[in-house]
Structure 1
Amino acid sequence: MKVSKHNAEHYIWGDICDGWHLVKGENLSIIHERMPINTSEVKHYHQNARQFFFVLSGTATLEVGDKEIVLHQQEGIEVPPLTPHQMFNKSQDEVEFLVISQPNSKGDRIVVD
């Protein structure tokens, strides 16, 4: 069966950001996310999950450890387990991106204060 954000399981995070579960397995998760202007995720890391963030449209800023990385459309970056990271949309347009996690990151997130 074909899957897209139009027929995938949808959820809202951070009050106004969207996520669509494109693949929701124990060993692999692929989520299409949308962040409006001036939104951000909380800083966190995953104990087991390795993640890959890939920007579909817009410009995202990902803080990884102590580095700030700007990701433009069609660019991505891998974040290994135990690495604090935080996604921001500091641009003047919404951003859409994929988050690919192996294994699934559900219940694996530790918030960093």
Structure 2
Amino acid sequence: MKISKFADIECSPNPHGVDARKIYDTENAVVVHMTIKPGESLKKHSTPVDVFFYVLEGEGIVEIGDEKEKVSKDSLIESPAKTPHTWYNKGQNDLRILIVKVPRPHKSTKIV
């Protein structure tokens, strides 16, 4: 059994400049815990694999392709491979998201 503690995992460098920590990384899948502070947003990008997001805490705006929705805690959002997407936190509190990429990507994310 392997147990990881969030506080012990270092933030991974990323083009968005937000707190992103890989909490699971195997040959089959990647799971990232991301915190988007109030006023922060991600650069629009696409991933080479399907992604789903699970909102752990807070509220934010997710944009996938031509769709844009306000989402909050306990929402699960699907994002198909190669579809441009981004997140915005226009609220007053941290937006914490669990990001799952399946299968594990072997190509890089592309900034749009």
Q: TM-score, normalised by structure 1?
A: 0.87
Q: Distance in 1 between matches of 2:13 and 2:19?
A: 5
Q: Distance in 2 between matches of 1:89 and 1:106?
A: 29
Unpaired runs of at least 5, structure 2: none
- Following TM superposition, by how much is the alpha carbon of 1:104 offset from its aligned partner in structure 2, in angstroms? 2.5
Q: Distance in 2 between matches of 1:9 and 1:21?
A: 8
TM-align CA RMSD: 1.6
Q: Distance in 1 between matches of 2:89 and 2:51?
A: 18
Cα-to-partner distance string for 1:28-61 (whole Å, 9 max, x where unaligned): 00111111101111111122x1101111000121
Aligned equivalent of 2:61: 61
Aligned equivalent of 1:43: 44
Count, aligned residues: 110
Seen in structure 2, the aligned counterparts of structure 1 residues 9 and 84 have a Cα distance that, compared at 3 Å, is same
Native 8 Å contact 1:9 1:22 kept in 2: no
Cα-to-partner distance string for 1:81-109 (whole Å, 9 max, x where unaligned): 02110111111111111000012246431
- Quick check: 1:27 aligned with 2:28? yes
Native 8 Å contact 1:56 1:74 kept in 2: yes
Unpaired runs of at least 5, structure 1: none
Partner amino acid for 1:87? W
3-state DSSP of counterpart to 1:34: strand
Native 8 Å contact 1:50 1:101 kept in 2: yes
Q: Distance in 2 between matches of 1:7 and 1:59?
A: 26
> Percent identity of the aligned residues?
25
Q: TM-score, normalised by structure 2?
A: 0.87
